[in-house]
Each structure stands twice: as structure tokens, then as C-alpha cells.
Amino acid sequence: MRGIEVAEMYLGLKETAPKDRLKLRELFKVAKIDLDPKTTPWCAAFVNGCEVKAGNKGTGRVNARSFIMYGTKVSLEQAREGDICVFSRGNSSWQGHVTYFVSHNGMEITVLGGNQRDCVCKSIYTTENLITIRRP
């Protein structure tokens, strides 16, 4: 099983729903991460949980940019569903967002991840803020 396949099992879970939060926290704990998705940014905890549950190592860290050196770097043209995208966010060099690559169309990348609109869902990001794509 791949990390994105694990992620798909959590599609639709919301950080604001108590039962969903419990399921998310159980996933995070698989990666030895204990945080409340209602109060703490959780995209990296989500990807870590999915990676560990899929049999990969993950980074074990709660910051999105911890995935910058994870796995093997691939170009956007080589990207495949399930690769990991790291995006910049905000004005600080430490801020970011990490999610799974689904597809791309020109300047837009469709991704699947957590802490997107406060839930696990597919979203579209522009390539403008893409830092790297990594293959687990």
C-alpha cells in the first residue's frame, strides 16, 4: 500500500468533528506524533501517519518542510500520483504545506492531503509556491 492510498481512506474527515479528530489523532500516533488537529497545523502529521501506515519511515516531524529531503527528488514532469509535494506558505522560510501529488495541468497541481480547508480533501495549488516533489 502507498501513502496516498492510506490518505484516500481518510477523505472527508474534518478537524472540527470530534469523531473525525479522534481518527486523525490515531493516525498521527502511528507516526509517534501526538497533536490535536483542531489547534495545531497538521498537514505533516497527516503525511507522516500515512507514510508510516504504508510501511515507509516518514520524517517523524510536524513541520511540512521536513519532507524537503524525504525520498528521491523528481521533477514536475516526472511526478506520479502518490509523490509528495512540499509548498512554501506565508512569509517565513520555515512555513510550508505538504501533501500528495494527484495530477497537474499547466500551472495547477491537484493534491490530496490533510489540513486543506480544515479537512482531508483534494485541492488545487499553483506551481508558483512548489518547493519540491519527492518520491517515497
* 134 pLDDT tier (thresholds 50, 70, 90): very high
What are the domain boundaries of the chain? 3-135
CA distances for 88 relative to 1, 61, 96, angstroms: 28, 17, 4
The pLDDT tens digits for 85-123 are 999 987 877 889 999 999 999 999 999 999 999 999 999
| CATH placement of domain 3-135 | 3.90.1720
53-61, Cβ contacts within 8 angstroms, sequence gap of 24 or more: 53/1, 53/3, 53/6, 53/27, 54/1, 54/2, 54/3, 54/5, 54/6, 54/136, 55/1, 56/3, 56/136, 58/31, 60/31, 60/32, 60/33
Confidence of residue 83 (pLDDT cuts 50, 70, 90): very high
